[in-house]
Amino acid sequence: MEFRHLRYFLVLAEELHFGRAAQRLSISQPPLSTNIQQLEASVGTQLFTRNSKAVQLTAAGRAFVPQARALLEQAQQAARHARDVAEGLAGSLQMGFVGTMLYCGLPDLLRRFQIDHPKLRLTLKELSSSEQLIELTHERLDLGFVHTTRVPAGLSQILVASQPFVACLPVAHALAGERSLSLARLRGEPFACVSRGVSADYHQRIVALCTDAGFEPEIRYELRHWLSVVSLVSQGLGVALVPQALSRSALPGTAFVLLDSATMPYDTYCLWKTDRDHQALTAFLAAVRPGA
């Protein structure tokens, strides 16, 4: 049984006339008759009664009509879905992201992209930069948003955000009302920090910034997530240096103060496997690129 047989059958079932059905199908009557005979042989029963005066559906033929329509519709849906996937309009994307991306444009990007690609299913996982590199390498993620420049061979990247560090202080801290402050004024304060295992780049950057300011930071709290760092500070337990985007987290009990000397920017990159053949990924990267 072929889809052509089903299409010929349905047209003949509507017309109940070989001449009119053949005309609709833009074929001659003999090929139509042959195809109907092949379909009946495949089904194992007669679907039409025909004589020189009339063509009628048998009881089996009448029962077969809705099934034939459903089969053709499923085939058409499958073909449409395959074309949509090939064109990047359907399918799925597995995405990793670091927590700061929630305050750095990712939600707006996702909303805009889903409006333009409603058939694409986006699945997001919050993972550290190092975890995302592993997942990308093993193709368990299609792309990721990371805070690291240690990119393995075989991955491509786009710079999507660059921001300074700011001091995150308890709102009751003596320096919380300052317009800006020197990092050296945080000497001796207990620091909260994302752990080295989660983000080695960030951890080393904080230590280097404090060292450049003339002191070794007393890192008393090592946490897995940025919001955990800010939350701990909001409880009055320490201070932190965090990417400026986290000032939009709006957690009560915290103050964010600019540093009065420039620091190396904290960059966020979108990474993906260079040889990944995925049209949905190509479409998403087009939305990520600057100026999109």
d(CA 246, CA 194): 13
pLDDT at 71: 86
The three state secondary structure string of the chain is CCHHHHHHHHHHHHHCCHHHHHHHHCCCHHHHHHHHHHHHHHHCCCCEEECCCCEEECHHHHHHHHHHHHHHHHHHHHHHHHHHHHCCCEEEEEEEECHHHHHCCHHHHHHHHHHHCCEEEEEEEECCHHHHHHHHHCCCCCEEEECCCCCCCCEEEEEEEEECEEEEEECCCCCCCCCEECHHHHCCCEEEEECCCCCHHHHHHHHHHHHHCCCCCEEEEEECCHHHHHHHHHCCCCEEEEEHHHHHHCCCCEEEEEECCCCCCEEEEEEEECCCCCHHHHHHHHHHCCCC
Q: Given this structure, which CATH class describes domain 3-86?
A: mainly alpha
Q: What pTM did the predictor assign?
A: 0.64
Domain boundary assignment for the chain? 3-86, 90-161+267-288, 165-264
Pull the structure tokens for residue 228.
């955990």
The reply to whether 90-161+267-288 and 165-264 are identical in fold is yes
pLDDT at 52: 72
- CB within 8 Å of 22: residues ≥ 6 apart: 28, 29, 31, 32
What pairs with residue 190 in β-bridges? 218
pLDDT at 6: 85
pLDDT at 283: 85
* Residues in the chain where the model's pLDDT stays below 50: none
Domain 165-264 fold: D-Maltodextrin-Binding Protein; domain 2 (3.40.190)
Token look-up 């993972």 returns: 127
pLDDT at 90: 53
**CATH 3.40.190.10 correct for 90-161+267-288:** yes
pLDDT at 205: 85
How distant is the alpha carbon of residue 57 from its chain centre? Answer: 50
